[in-house]
Amino acid sequence: MSSSRSHSRVNRDASSAVSKKVCVIGDFAVGKTSLVRRHVLNEFSPHYQATLGVNIYKFSDSIDLPDGESVLLNEIIWDIESGDPASGKLSTYLQGAAGAVIVGDIARENPLPSMIERARLFQEVCPGRPVVFAFNKVDLISNADDGEDGHALEEEFSAVAMRTSAAEGTAVQDLFLHLGRRILEIGA
Amino acid sequence: MRAPEEELKRLLLASELDLLERIRKRCDDLQARVGDDPALKESIRRVIVEVLRESGLHDHDRLARALAPLIVSSMREEIRNSRDMMVDALYPITGRLVAAAVRNAFTELMEKLNRKLDEGISVERWKAKLQAKATGQSEAEILLNRNPPFEIDEIFIIHRPTGLLIERVDAQGDAEDTIDSDLVSGMLTAIMAFVQDAFDDAEGGELRTLAFGESQLFLQTSPNVILAARTNGTAPANFETTLQEMFFGILERWSDFIAEFDGDSAQDQKAAFNSDLQARVRDLQKARAENFRGRSWKARAVIAVLLILAVIWPGLSFYDDYRASVIEDRARGVIASQEALTGYPITLRYDKDTKALIIEGLLPSSESRQQLTAELNRRLPQIEKRLQLGSLRQARGDEVGRGKLASLRDELGRLKSVFTQALADLETKTQSSNSDIAQEFSKAVGTLERTLQQNQNLTTEDIAKAIGDLESVILRRQDRTRRGLAAELEKLELARRTLEQRLTKLETDARAPLQRLKAWIARHALFLSDGSEFRDPRRTDALLGDLAALIKLAPSNVRIRVVGYTDSAGSERINKELSIERAKVAIQKLRDLGVSNDRLIPVGRSAERSLAAGGRSEGNNRRVEFEIAFSGE
């Protein structure tokens, strides 16, 4: 439970602004906080510091919808501690979220079960809300063909899975942009 | 053996060679001391302290000038680098200094306040003064506590399920937004969720306040909304209640809007909600200015009750008076309509306490009494009537009246015969207008007789007037019959004197019961042993029996004050009650003996009029005395 920072990529005087709660969840030390900090503050620290409770960030982005309309989306990002998905605490934090980023560590042996567990929990707490999957730490695998490709996830949750690197910034913006667009498309 | 050249060189250049040797030695020494950096450092290290001290002594200013910039900058650097250490090191000292400074400033403020207070006068100040006297606190402290500075900085309305900010109102009007309100909202929601999870209050308890330094965050929550008010200073007692009322007001009006909130700033009614919230915050600020005292319904209720009493009380008593006067007027009308009662002394009054019409007086006969009662019952059917009327025949029933009146009749008969005789004589002597005189005489005598028959309370004046009439009748004829009448007049004079004597006696007799009553009262009192026990019950009963008989004989408008006394032991309040109690016991006994309650007035005089002279026993002070009440008392 700690500090919160905000960053905006656009001027806030856009015609209309929509605020949405976005949750970032995933197993212990997969790089949730690093992903968020790369996204919001564009910074990275190799030192690990566990998140206690929730960190909250804000990121404003102007998103172009397919119909040509441009909407200012204020993402209130809840960077939530890994915790135990079965404990109920996680569900409390997830409540009211418009979308979620589910993060896994691509360098680990089998990241899928914990991601699936969390994705199912999110669908249970916020049915019908979009999720995106991030296989993080892609910079740590030497062969690009190694590791999980996430097809199983994409099929079960009809969601995009991306390989990201918080350390190098790979696909981080795309990840959040994609989620933001999905949120606006579905509408709250 | 050295070479000859060497020998020669030695001889020639001995002194130079020595010098050279010495120089080399010194060079080596110097080389050892300052030849390279470590040696130089070592050399300087040995002397530098000494050098600095000496130059500090001899050339202080120059040294200071030279060193100052270096020292200052290095100190600055040092402070910058080890800020935390400095803070830790300085904290105890500065802490104490700050505390002392604050204390001083506070004391100064107190003194200033006290001074100001001494200069001005206000109700608040007097209240504080009294409170200070009562609690022993300083007056300034009380005033300071009473109105501690308190400010509402900003109000957040947060959508609880998403943690999104619905609206933020800057209560102070300065748009300074140091930290993003969206983040504050999210964080607050997360903290509340965390607290709820962590402490798992089964009864649904919620986080109510967060305090940081002088600031406080007051939270009002519902499942859908969080209202957070950031404040500064000590919150007055009613602030939370007022905030809660505001929160409920918002919930009541905007629950639909809030339930549908989706984070879209362009949502319908958003602007309306915003302006409504602004208005509510303004109200809250207004309440703050009044220190959240609110509308004091208690004071209003008390005033309202007092007002109602003030209206109803006089209204009721006015109505009572009005009703009493209507009843009295009607009863007077009834009495006036009874021709037989003309000239009889009848008084009436309506007693508001017992709600009874009291009629006192004398009637010519028991028939007229029945008539009057019937008429009163017809005209005033709902009113309780208490008739204390004596009718003449009844009055004569008592032995005194009957005897006196019989003798008065005899007297009158004799007087009549005297007058008749005198008239007959006059007639024969004057031989003129005898019938006239006879008529007047018989008329005057008839009037006198009627009066006597009708009224027991015949006064000397009445009789004197009647006699005067007779006299004047006679005197009118006197000039014509003076000589002839002289003897007759003497006879008449004699008769008049006799009549006068009889009347005086009659009057004395009529007054006698009252005189006897007065005499009895002057000589008797009832003594008590303790409490309401009479000292000698049998004697007391005998005395009260006498008294009751005397009261009954006395005219009905004579009332008796029954006065209880106590000894001086015990409290005044208890003695007062006891003395009245004693009077009431005596009155009860008199009532049992048939005396009307209306004629008895209980009075308590505790230990007044002590009978114990010179500090002797006070036993005789425990008594009941009797007094004749003043008429109209």
DSSP string, B330-399: HHHHHHHH-GGGTT--EEEEEETTTTEEEEEEEES-HHHHHHHHHHHHHH-TTSEEEEEEEEHHHHHTSH
**Which residues of A are less than 8 Å from B162 in CB distance?**
20-21, 76, 95-98
Q: Three-state SS for A5?
A: strand
Minimal Cβ distance to A4: which of B161, B186, B193: B186
**Which residues 85-114 of chain A have a CB within 8 Å of chain B?**
88-89, 92-93, 95-98
Q: Chain B contact for A42, CB < 8 A?
A: no
For an interface test with A, the pick among B178, B182, B206 (most A C-beta atoms closer than 10 Å) comes out as B182
Lowest model confidence (mean pLDDT) among B34-38, B97-101, B316-320, B606-610? B97-101
* Nearest-10 crossing angle of helices B139-146, B83-119: 110
State pLDDT tens for residues B510-566. 667 888 888 888 888 888 887 888 888 888 888 898 889 888 888 888 889 999 998
**Which residues of B are less than 8 Å from A128 in CB distance?**
none
**Which residues of A are less than 8 Å from B175 in CB distance?**
none
Q: Chain A contact for B194, CB < 8 A?
A: yes
Nearby residues of B628 by Cβ (< 8 Å), 6 or more positions away = B517, B518, B521, B558, B559, B560, B561
**Which residues of B are less than 8 Å from A21 in CB distance?**
162-164, 186, 263
Would you mind telling me the total number of residues written for chain B in this entry?
Answer: 633
When the pLDDT of each residue in chain A is averaged and rounded to a whole number, the result is: 85
The answer to whether the Cβ–Cβ distance between B163 and A89 falls below 8 Å is no
Instruction: Indicate whether B460 pLDDT > 70.
Output: no
Mean pLDDT for the stretch of residues B28-39:
87
Minimal Cβ distance to B161: which of A4, A53, A96: A96
The answer to whether the Cβ–Cβ distance between A16 and B191 falls below 8 Å is no
State pLDDT tens for residues B124-151. 677 777 888 888 877 777 776 666 678 8
Task: pLDDT band for B395, please (50, 70, 90 cuts).
Answer: very low
**Which residues of B are less than 8 Å from A93 in CB distance?**
190, 193
When the pLDDT of each residue in chain B is averaged and rounded to a whole number, the result is: 79
**Residue B611: C-alpha distances to residues B64, B210, B323, B615, B622 (Å):** 108, 80, 47, 10, 9
Taking CA–CA distances from B197, the nearest residue in chain A reads: A89
Q: Chain A contact for B193, CB < 8 A?
A: yes
The answer to whether the Cβ–Cβ distance between B180 and A58 falls below 8 Å is yes
Angle made by CA atoms B631, B632, B633, in degrees to the nearest 5: 90
- The dihedral sign for the CA sequence B210, B211, B212, B218: positive
The answer to whether the Cβ–Cβ distance between A98 and B159 falls below 8 Å is no
Whether A133 contacts A119, CB under 8 Å:
yes
Task: pLDDT band for A11, please (50, 70, 90 cuts).
Answer: very low
Task: pLDDT band for B352, please (50, 70, 90 cuts).
Answer: confident
pLDDT of residue B552: 86
State pLDDT tens for residues A70-104. 888 989 999 999 888 887 788 888 988 999 999 99
**Which residues of B are less than 8 Å from A95 in CB distance?**
161-162, 193
pLDDT of residue A134: 93
Minimal Cβ distance to B183: which of A17, A18, A56: A56
